Amino acid sequence: MSRGVLMVFSGPSGCGKGTVLKEFFASGGDAFLSVSATTRAPRPGEEDGVHYYFLSREDFEQRLSQDEILEHACYCGNYYGTPRGPVYERLERGENVILEIEVQGGLQIREKCPEAVLVFVLPPSFDELRRRLLGRQTEDMETVSRRLETARQEMQAAYDYDYIVVNDRLEDAVDELKAIFAAEKIKTANRKTMIDEVLRYDA
């Protein structure tokens, strides 16, 4: 059995990553969404172990030193990181894995896992990004301003990603995401065993 596709899914805060993924799963998309660890406080409605593992700074640093975190970054004053174990377990089982992480982490994954596919979600415009971030009403004004400043730098990293999904119409963005999985699945690297099989039974 071939390994699953490891996908990094990045984009500035408010561009709609969570919304695109929710619609992807609701419309039959099949993948394991990695649950990250973070030191930021939970937002209303967020559950420990479901949306994130909410850790103290000490706990996060201890897991880092024990090499339990595959990649990590400090984003707007908080640590965020990907627990290593579940990612490899799922990939070995042939499942696709999505890491919804920011760009510093995405580029660490490219170094450590060269087979990973890096997808960047682009908002249709900076104005629309601002509107979405403000419209979500989950952060105070200071946090929104910090996230918008960070967004400009993050979007520079988009040039280094493999695919750009534009989240203007939600349905189109979800179709683009599905198309990437479909294309990755039929890459030569993922079909080597099929070539071997066909060659073995030359009658």
End-to-end CA distance of the chain: 24
Instruction: Count Cα neighbours of 23 within 13 Å in the Cβ-side half-sphere.
Output: 16
Applying CB under 6 A, the span of 24-32, 44-52, 130-138, 187-195 interacting with ligand ADP comes to 130-138
Among 14, 29, 81, 106, binds ligand ADP (CB under 6 A): 14
Q: In 10 A of CB 125, how many CB atoms?
A: 10
Applying CB under 6 A, the span of 13-21, 25-33, 45-53, 193-201 interacting with ligand ADP comes to 13-21
Biggest alpha carbon–alpha carbon distance for the chain: 70
Task: Indicate the residue among 117 and 129 with the shorter CB distance to ligand ADP.
Answer: 129
Among 117, 132, 151, 161, binds ligand ADP (CB under 6 A): 132
Applying CB under 6 A, the span of 67-75, 86-94, 181-189, 192-200 interacting with ligand 5GP comes to 67-75
Distance, in Å, from the CA atom of 167 to the CA atom of 102, rounded to the nearest integer, reads 17
Among 3, 51, 84, 136, binds ligand ADP (CB under 6 A): 136
Query: Residue 97 burial (CB < 10 Å; 0-12/13-18/19+)?
Result: buried
Distance, in Å, from the CA atom of 65 to the CA atom of 122, rounded to the nearest integer, reads 34
**Positions 6 through 65 that interact with ligand 5GP (CB under 6 A):** 13, 36, 40
| φ and ψ of 121, to 5 deg | -95, 120
- Residue 82 interacts, among ligand ADP, ligand 5GP, none and using kind-specific CB cut-offs from 5 to 8 Å, with ligand 5GP
Helix, strand, coil share (%) of the chain residues, nearest 5: 50, 20, 35
Catalogue the E-assigned strands of the chain: 6-10, 32-33, 37-38, 53-54, 69-75, 78-83, 97-100, 117-122, 163-166
Applying CB under 6 A, the span of 94-102, 120-128, 171-179, 184-192 interacting with ligand 5GP comes to 94-102
In the shown chain, the binding pattern of residues 172 to 191 toward ligand 5GP, with x for contact by CB under 6 A and - for none, equals --------------------
Task: Indicate the residue among 63 and 132 with the shorter CB distance to ligand ADP.
Answer: 132
36 counts as binding ligand ADP under rule CB under 6 A: no
- Residues contributing to the site for ligand 5GP (CB under 6 A): 13, 36, 40, 71-73, 75, 80-82, 100-102, 104-105
